Amino acid sequence: MLVVVLVVVLVSGGIGAAVAGVRSFEGSAPLYAPPDRPSSSAGSSEVTLSLDAVAHPAGESVRSQLQRYFDAINAKDYQGWSDTVVPDRVARQPEEAWQAGVRTTVDGTIRVDRIDDRPADALLALVRFVSTQDPADAPETLRTGRICWRGSLPLTGSPPRIDTGAAGSLVGSPC
């Protein structure tokens, strides 16, 4: 009788856990898991890719170009930045204005979640990252020292250069 009760309890618990979606995991996080967001800094400046982005044929070239882009911002290297964006962006943002815009910015915890193909051999990278800065240098509508950004970056050409996105294609919130 005790064995029957024990079997019923174990089976019921297993079914209940399966229905509730409760599962136990052991070991390390899977390869390409999203990085944990740091509690106060921007985090690592390494650009990482999700499994979906890794599987895209342009995944490594997008990662490499975004790495150069974020490295240039973090190093305040205008020439390096201008080599990663389309010429129109460079023309619209001369070095003095660009330097003022990134004066205290540090970007990190950078992840490409997905890469989508667009017409005319263009790409759209869905990206998230953390930015820290002096609150006075933050966007006027988001005066905070730490912002979590999420959005889409259009890329064109080979190597893929970052184009100008549509208004609202990058959304930030304090974090």
Rg of the chain's alpha carbons, rounded to an integer?
A: 22
What would the pLDDT profile of 116-135 be if each residue is shown by its tens digit?
999 988 999 999 999 999 99
- Which DSSP letter does residue 86 get? -
C-alpha span between 44 and 37 (Å, rounded): 10
* Strands (DSSP E) found in the chain: 47-49, 106-118, 122-132, 146-156, 161-162, 170-174
Give the other-Cβ count within 10 Å of 69's Cβ. Answer: 21
Domains, in order of start, for the chain? 44-164 (3.10.450.50)
What would the pLDDT profile of 47-74 be if each residue is shown by its tens digit?
999 999 999 999 999 999 999 999 999 9
pTM over 0.85: no
